[in-house]
Amino acid sequence: MKYHKWHITFPKKIQPVKLKVIKDFEKLDEVIQEQIKLAFPNGFYKDLIQFQDKEGKQVSALPFETEEKSYLVRMTKAEAKAIIEDDDDFDDDGTLKDGIKDDYEEKYGDLDHMSDYMSNDDDEGDDDDLDY
């Protein structure tokens, strides 16, 4: 009787399913809030998406990904602008202050999920309008 050898290849690292979190910005841990500010240093109202919640209501939120979780941070366009206006980490033009940005880059720059966000932030500050 002849036996065949089977060659089975398994992925080196199976990606676990990420926990999905829908939360208000104010209720997020400070660490996640800081990472969001670093990911969106010019404000985030332009990055809001629309979706229907479980009751069928239209909701706007900011998508944000970490290694462990996929966040939808609930906020309206007006709330997104108010968060930036009221936050001392942002200047009067709605841009994350350089010193704060440097601090956050030092704290979170080595995280894998932040590299995608940080590589894109240079292109986003080219708007001549100061809407945030």
Q: Is 12 exposed, middle or buried (0-12, 13-18, 19+ CB in 10 A)?
A: exposed
Contact between 101 and 38 under an 8 Å Cβ cutoff? The reply is yes
Q: In a structure prediction context, what are the per-residue pLDDT tens digits for the chain, which is 132 residues long?
A: 555 555 555 566 666 688 999 999 999 999 999 999 999 999 999 999 998 888 999 999 999 999 999 999 999 999 999 999 999 999 999 999 999 999 999 999 899 889 888 766 544 444 444 454
pLDDT of residue 33: 97
Three-state DSSP at 22 gives strand
Q: Would you state the pLDDT for residue 54?
A: 87
pTM of the model: 0.77
Q: Is the sign of the CA dihedral 82, 87, 91, 92 positive or negative?
A: positive
pLDDT score at 8? 56
Cα(51)–Cα(49) distance, integer angstroms = 7
Contact between 84 and 33 (Cβ < 8 Å): no
**Angstrom distance (rounded) from CA 29 to CA 25:** 9
